[in-house]
Amino acid sequence: IIEPRIFKDARGYFFESYSQREFEEKVDKINFVQDNESMSSYGVMRGLHFQRPPYTQSKLVRCVKGAVLDVAVELTEENHRQFFVPRGFAHGFAVLSETAVFQYKCDNFYHPEADGGISILDNSLDIDWRIPTEHAILSEKDTKHPLLKDFDSPFDYHVSLY
């Protein structure tokens, strides 16, 4: 988790939402190539998504407005605020406020043919999404992802994803 320094005064606040120099000091050298943003309503659950090799993606994510529960699940066999999701992790979130605006940077372009996921409702992950299942709003695609136990991982932990 990367937490920026926030400068507040009578006018409001200012902060650097991204500094490549600081990011490289704290995380690694990553070349972000695409920014994405979504707006969702209460109960929307997105995920758990990833890109298969050779198009794996890292993401630097933050909730700009509202509240979300943000989750990353490592898929390799081993092992204001921003959350860095490395390659080889599935990512998803649940909207906890009336609306939320969510941004993320990616270090690889989206490739539909490499799109993958695991079930956001997989009980074995033991994720408390803080939204009753009967109130969850899921895309049709997200209802069709396999459970983790049925997932055939394309990620080889012996091979660097960077």
Residue type, 49: H
What is the C-alpha separation between 130 and 136, in angstroms, rounded?
10
145 labelled catalytic: no
From 18, 80, 104, 157, the catalytic residue: 104
From 13, 42, 49, 162, the catalytic residue: 49
What is the C-alpha separation between 149 and 48, in angstroms, rounded?
14
Long-range CB contacts for residues 109-112, cutoff 8 Å, separation at least 24: 109/33, 109/34, 109/55, 110/34, 110/51, 110/57, 111/51, 111/55
* Nearest alpha carbon to residue 30 among 3, 2, 57: 57
Query: What is the sign of the dihedral through the CA atoms of 21, 87, 139 and 1?
Result: negative
Q: Is 23 helix (H, G, I), strand (E, B) or coil?
A: helix
135 labelled catalytic: no
Q: Which residues are catalytic?
A: 49, 104
